[in-house]
A and B are shown apart, each in its own frame.
Chain A
Amino acid sequence: MSYSYLFKYIIIGDTGVGKSCLLLQFTDKRFQPVHDLTIGVEFGARMINIDGKQIKLQIWDTAGQESFRSITRSYYRGAAGALLVYDITRRETFEHLTSWLDDARQHSSSNMVIMLIGNKSDLDAKRDVKFEEGLAFAQEHGLVFMETSAKTAANVEEAFINTAKEVYKKIQDGVFDITNEANGIKLGPQHQGGGGGGQRAASADPNKAQGGGGGCC
């Protein structure tokens, strides 16, 4: 399917906060209560629409375990958006946010949009971190903030889409240089080669479009 832009997202945060579940809810609209530990990184993708533009979100769901930390750091590069997730029922996951944020800031573009997510909002009875605390942390560090539930799907769409809107806004404002892939944004096919439209009409040989996959070194 063709798209105008591709945004690379990365999901980070402590193990067990529900990163993979958020992704699954967003891409497949389902919830899996027991999820295998993520090894390294897994991927998800979904098409969304902003301002009439088709945008493909390519989501890198990283392992939260400490032992993978050095590996996942390699993956920050080139992300346009990051979802920094904590579990509202486990205070320590909130307390580790600073360290995650440092990692994110250090290994990615300074323009990366970071969305802070307090997940498991359905477990309000077990709440260990107040909404206001999350909000205050977000404000202090210039992040967007939301509480979500991967289980009930509350705010899940919004979290991903609002992040994309922020990225899109930065593109409109000229903050993101879209020609630089290091920013995690890629133009879709219809944006490529826009200049040659007129001449293209002369195309005669359909087969020339084929191939391409040819040997790589």
Chain B
Amino acid sequence: MEENKVESEEEFESAESDSEGKVLEEQSNNKLINNKQTMNTDQASDTNTSQSDAKQTHTEEAHTDTTQTHTEPAMSNAEPTDTDTSTNQSHTGTSQSDPGTNQSHAGTNQSHTGTSQSDPGTNQSNTGTSQSDPGTNQSNTGTNQSDTGTSQSGTSSWSWGWGSITSTLSSAVTKATEYTSSVINKGGEEEEEVPTPQEMRRESTTDEEREDQSIGGIFTGLATAVQSTGASLLSGGLDALEVIGRKTVDIISEGDPGLRKKRALLTGDTKTLSQLLKEAKETNNDNNNDDNNQENTSSLINYSQLIEQHGGLVHLEALEMLSGDCTSKLESIESESVNDEVQSLCQYFNIEEEEEEDPGDGKEFTNISSLTIDRVKADQLIKCHEDINIQAKEEVDKDIEVLYVESMNGMARLCSSSLQLFKKTSEILLIPSDGESIDVKDVAMKLKKITVIISNEFETIASLYAEKINEKSSEDKGQEYITSLYLEASSSSSYVQSAHKLLLPVLQHRLTITINNNNN
């Protein structure tokens, strides 16, 4: 593990310096250089900095993104914080370098438990710094507004929930989320091409082979890739955000069918998706509690908490356990022909963008009941979908708060129900069959269809409610709700698609059983 870490750092740095060069070239931004100098001084006085090099390059990187898109260095609020409290504290008051210290190095530095505990405090200390410093303070509130002219305070800060997550994976995700908010803000204004996963990959990793040994490297590389493309994305539309999410999944699963290697590594020291969700939820709780005590102005809903309330989290956890066990069973396959068969299932687990762009008319949702395997009923999911639609179409005058809460609850319920469906499907698939055969490929195809239908539905729900909220209020609060709604719709799709991917090892395992039965 130690070795891996070191490697991932190296990779991280090399990837960073690549994009650094590019960025500097493109930008020729004097501010950057100034910032670097400030950082140097700071780090010299910082005894706790274990990775001064990586940090330094990273600082510039982050800063570049910021300057390119916003007028001020706003990363102090948009970045997850470093886990080292004293690092941040030692920078208090230095306006230029502050944004740089709040790096999401979490992944490279400490990817283990326990570190999250100091995070909330760290977040705050940064905010405190911002307050005492006019320059940074401006960046807290002005981030995205410089573009749109509206004053939606804090839309740039959406990545806070992930602040405490200390794995590299989350660092990648955070960055995606972070740009998300900006993208949404500018949604639909102009389209810009999103780099292909291959391009992103080239940028982020120098040595393909190394990936297999170093999970940290992959994710850090991802973080960099997402980050470095972030700047260009900011001017993109809402679609771009979705594309990023999907590409991220693609990159992670590329060349590693069933995510076997990665999953094996993930089940080791690093955290699983459900753990990440839990932590996100708890950090949010924590921050919300604080804020409520103080100003009681935070009206945005903690979505990960809603997912837990509706039982989604625990279903996901169970699914992860099953999937993990199947993954380890698959590792013992020796026969090449069986292995080929098993690998062939992967094709059903890549969801293309085009398929998702299909606008769902809501009617196809009921088709899900014909797509589930025997003994798995989609009744609950379909009922949930109906309820949401009935509620959304009620001709009752509702406040925007009511609409917002209603929509978020609906999505969380639908999301949890979907996770439950996938979990149940896995369980049924794993019941030892007595001669009864399951057409695994057919199941795989149907599962993919289900995933696409559900994924699309979140956006449909978000649009439905966004329109309603928009009709009632074009003020900041309404816009804030709408942005939140779209963000969580996208999160929901991500959860469902992640859960779908967890089914791959389950189906693969099922297939090996079928093959073995036939051979005997």
Residues of A whose CB lies within 8 Å of any CB of B are 2, 39-41, 43, 58, 60, 67-68, 70-71, 74-75, 77, 179-181, 186, 188-190, 192-217
Let me know if B161 and A194 touch, CB within 8 A. Answer: no
Contact B155 A192 (CB under 8 A): no
The reply to whether A208 and B123 contact each other, CB–CB distance below 8 Å, is yes
B-side contacts of A208, CB under 8 Å: 77, 123, 127, 154, 157, 160, 287
CB pair A212–B303 under 8 Å, yes or no, is yes
Chain A CB within 8 A of B278 CB: yes
* Chain B 135-189 interface residues, beta-carbon cutoff 8 Å to A: 140-141, 153-155, 157-162, 164, 169, 172-174, 176-177, 180-181
Partner of B120, one of A39, A200, A211: A200
| Contact residues in B for A74 (Cβ distance below 8 Å) | 321-322, 324-325
Residue of A nearest to B253 (CB): A217
Q: Kindly list chain A residues whose C-beta atoms are within 8 Å of the C-beta of B504.
A: none
- Please tell me if the beta carbons of B161 and A209 are within 8 angstroms of each other in the complex: yes
Interface centre among B153, B273, B282, B480 (most CB of A within 10 A): B282
Q: List 27 A-B contacts (CB under 8 A).
A: A39-B428, A40-B318, A40-B424, A40-B426, A60-B318, A67-B431, A75-B318, A189-B285, A189-B289, A193-B119, A195-B85, A195-B118, A199-B122, A200-B124, A203-B127, A203-B291, A205-B157, A206-B154, A207-B155, A209-B288, A210-B157, A212-B304, A213-B487, A214-B176, A214-B490, A215-B494, A216-B273
Beta-carbon contact of B427 and A202 below 8 Å? no
Q: A39-B375, A211-B160, A216-B494 are in contact. Are A204 and B130 (CB under 8 A)?
A: yes
Q: Given the complex of chains A and B, what is the CA–CA distance between A39 and B377 in angstroms?
A: 12
Chain B positions within 8 Å of A, measured between CB atoms, are: 77, 85, 113-114, 116-125, 127-128, 130-131, 140-141, 153-155, 157-162, 164, 169, 172-174, 176-177, 180-181, 244-245, 248-249, 252, 273, 275-278, 280-291, 294-295, 297-298, 300-304, 307, 311, 314-315, 318, 321-322, 324-325, 375, 423-424, 426-428, 430-432, 480, 484, 487-488, 490-492, 494-495, 498
Specify which of A67, A213, A217 is in contact with B280 (CB 8 Å cutoff): A213
Q: When chains A and B are docked, how far (Å) is the Cα of A43 from the Cα of B419?
A: 13
Residue pair A214, B162 in contact (C-beta under 8 Å): yes
Q: How far is the CA of A77 from the CA of B162 in the complex (A)?
A: 26
Q: Are A206 and B291 in contact (CB under 8 A)?
A: yes
The verdict on A214 contacting B177 (CB below 8 Å), with A189-B282, A192-B120 known, is: yes
What residues on A are CB-neighbors of B286 within 8 Å?
189-190, 192-193
Task: Select B121's contact among A77, A200, A205, A210, beta carbons within 8 Å.
Answer: A200
Question: When the two chains form their complex, are residues B128 and A202 in contact, meaning their CB atoms are under 8 A apart?
Answer: yes
CB of A78, distance to nearest CB on chain B (Å): 8
A209 to B173, CA, bound (A): 17
Residue in B131, B140, B154, B300 whose Cβ sees the most chain A Cβ within 10 Å: B154
Q: What's the minimum C-beta distance from A17 to chain B, rounded to whole angstroms? A: 20
Known: A194-B117, A217-B248. A212 touches B280 (CB 8 A): yes
CB-nearest residue of chain A to B176: A215
Leading 8 A-B pairs by shortest Cβ distance = A196-B121, A212-B161, A207-B154, A214-B177, A202-B128, A40-B427, A209-B287, A211-B158
Are A205 and B498 CB-contacts (below 8 A) given A39-B375, A196-B125, A214-B158? no
Q: Do A207 and B431 have beta carbons less than 8 Å apart?
A: no
Contact A213 B287 (CB under 8 A): no
| Inter-chain contact B430/A71, CB cutoff 8 Å | yes
Question: With the chains together, A189 CA to B164 CA distance in Å?
Answer: 12
Residue in chain B with minimal CB distance to A41 = B318
Check if A212 sits within 8 Å of B281, measured CB to CB. Answer: yes
- Name the residue of chain A whose CB is nearest to the CB of B303: A213
- Given A193-B286, A211-B487 in contact, is the A43-B121 Cβ separation under 8 Å? no
Q: Which residue of A lies closest to B277 (CB)?
A: A216
For the complex, give the distance between the alpha carbons of A203 and B291 in Å.
Answer: 7
Q: Is the CB of B85 within 8 A of A205?
A: no
* Residue in B283, B315, B426, B432 whose CB lies within 8 Å of A192: B283
Residue of B nearest to A58 (CB): B314
CB distance from A158 to the nearest CB of B (A): 25
B-side contacts of A190, CB under 8 Å: 286, 289
Interchain CB contact under 8 A, B295 and A206: yes
Residues of chain B with a CB closer than 8 A to A197's CB: 121
Contact residues in B for A181 (Cβ distance below 8 Å): 113, 275
